[in-house]
Amino acid sequence: MKYLSLIGAIFFLSLQTSATTLCDNYLEKLPIQQGGRVKPLFVHSKEVVKFLTDKSKFNNQSPAVTFCKLSTGDQKTIDTIKLPTPHVEVQKLLGTSEKMTLAKEILPKANLLRGAYMGISEENSYKKALQKLMERIQLLNAVIDGTQWTLPHFGDEISWASLNEVQKIKKQPLSKEYLEGLTSEYIKRKTDHYLLENTYIKAHFTGYAMLACILTIIFLVLFKNQLYSLLFAATALGLQTASLTMRVMISGRAPVTNMYETVLFSGYGALLLALIIGHMRKEKLFIYVGAGYNLITLFMVIFANEMLDSSIKPLVPVLRDNFWLSTHVTTIILSYSGLGLSWVLSNMVLFKRKFSKIDKKDEKYYADLIYTSIKYGTVLLAAGIILGGVWADYSWGRFWGWDPKETWSLIVLCIYMAILHGKYTNWIPASRFIHFTAGAFMSVMMAWFGVNYILASGLHSYGFSQGGAVFLGTFFAVQIIILIIFKGKKNA
């Protein structure tokens, strides 16, 4: 009996040693098929670990290593991984007070969570928290079961099989040499193009671009010479150009197919427009505004992970026409960039007018700068709506259908055309014009975010996302408060 126990202990130890040898950083390049496309294991494992733990890494190791250890039965990893449980009611249900709870304590209570979820009829934060936790449990179980691995199998053509199926085909445990061989064979038969996504993620373009925007604003404030600020602005633009270009090369489409990409592209477009308009007008204030708006969008794409999903996914059929995608959607988002510049400018003037003195001449000058931004944005928006109508006729057989996205785009266009007309005819004085343009951007946010996060209906369902209603409500509330508080004018 003692010998049998000893043999069992040795066998268990050999499995753990095998998992330790198998799970290493070389796995980051392993090609897998997930989400309808081929990508490196590093990319998929990073998305999985991020979703499970709300962190980019677990135990300060590569996500691919964590993913491998979970899938190959490494008990230490399975026993120590924690899932987020931030909701108080969920904590009470699980009998804990921790915001991060061990998965091994949650998994046996899956039926309890499911029962609590089914017992809630109304959509509230508790129900959403339960749903998110159950999704995490389901994904963790799939990773542990090995069904999240889909490895290439080479015959006359490349097919894909789950980790469990591959082990049945091999009839022996996986080895480092075998998995490295899969990577080499795939690259030999196809290309190493799929590895570009690893480079893209590890380059952290958006983080460095955000730093460049911060330095742009700092150098504008500290130095009269614009050379350094322009260099940092150009650096931010270059980094974002590289980021967007690589997303295009990876996905094979224009980088404007989800909320993450539209926010990123909007900030990029705003900085580009600001530098062009600033150069034409010989006005450095546009550099401030472009860098400021870009900084806001970069902050969102980096930190608003719940609201903006950065993963690259296959397109729905209606979006697979790259010509229309590259013209209609890109033009619409660039229009938001121009209108975003007018929004930042307007709020800057409101703050300046409240906390310092500006004369009517300055007010008129600022209004003229805002007017210029709106003209660019409105023209692009009108062009985008027309292009969208042509695409709709091509895809759905009708030019216009009063879809929520279409309707709100038209509302935005009408609002800004009315503001432009009022300014041109002097019906709207400069002081009121600044207020109107600051408030008008709320219509853009409704068309851009509101249709996706609040209405969530219509033929543009491919653009919908989860979450974001709180963000949008907060934006509206803050903007309305600013308009009310800064209503009074303070002219010299």
Q: What is residue 195's predicted lDDT score, i.e. its pLDDT?
A: 95
Quote the DSSP letter at residue 255. S
pLDDT band at residue 209, thresholds of 50, 70 and 90?
very high
Q: What is the DSSP letter of 298?
A: H
- Check pLDDT > 80 for residue 490: no
CA distance 160 to 229: 50
| Single-letter amino acid code for the residue at 339 | L
Which has the minimum average pLDDT: 183-197, 215-229, 259-273, 451-465?
Answer: 451-465
Across the chain, mean pLDDT equals 87
Task: Summarize the confidence of residues 306-319 as an average pLDDT.
Answer: 79
| Listed residue (183, 153, 188, 187) closest to 167, CA to CA | 153
* pLDDT the model gives residue 291: 96
Confidence band, pLDDT 50/70/90 cuts, at residue 14: very low
| Predicted local distance difference test score (pLDDT) of residue 444 | 95
pLDDT in the model for residue 460? 52
Per-residue pLDDT averaged across 445-460, rounded? 74
Q: Which residue has the higher pLDDT, 17 or 348?
A: 348
Confidence of residue 318 (pLDDT cuts 50, 70, 90): low
**CA 2 to centroid of chain Cα atoms:** 57
State the pLDDT confidence band at 92, using cuts at 50, 70 and 90: very high
Predicted local confidence at residue 456, as pLDDT: 56
**Residue for token pair 């733990």:** 53
Name the residue with tokens 């909701």.
Answer: 87
| pLDDT at residue 83, rounded to an integer | 94
Tell the burial category of 474 from Cβ atoms under 10 Å away from its Cβ (0-12, 13-18, 19+): exposed
For residue 8, what pLDDT band results from cuts at 50, 70 and 90? very low
Q: What is the CA radius of gyration of the chain?
A: 27
In this prediction, residue 489 carries a pLDDT of 53
What's the pLDDT score for residue 214?
96
pLDDT score recorded for residue 108: 92
Instruction: State the pLDDT confidence band at 324, using cuts at 50, 70 and 90.
Output: confident
- Residue of higher predicted confidence among 358 and 276: 276
Mean pLDDT of 281-304: 93
Cα–Cα distances in Å, from 15 out to 63, 68, 177, 346, 434? 21, 13, 17, 64, 69
Per-residue model confidence (pLDDT) at position 13: 39
- Find the farthest-apart pair of alpha carbons in the chain and give their distance in angstroms, rounded: 98
What average pLDDT does the segment 364-387 reach? Answer: 94
Q: Is the pLDDT of residue 370 over 90?
A: yes
Whether the pLDDT of residue 162 is over 90: the answer is no
337 near 266, Cβ under 8 Å? yes
For residue 79, pLDDT over 60 is answered with yes
For residues 50 and 306, give the distance between their C-alpha atoms in angstroms, rounded to a whole number.
Answer: 11
Type and span of the H or E element at 45:
helix 41-53
Here the tokens at position 460 are 């543009």
Assign 37 to helix, strand or coil: strand
Considering only CA atoms, which of 247, 199, 195 is closest in space to residue 41?
195
d(CA 415, CA 429) in angstroms, rounded, equals 17
> Among 258, 390, 374, 384, which Cα is nearest to 315's?
258
pLDDT at 198 over 80: yes
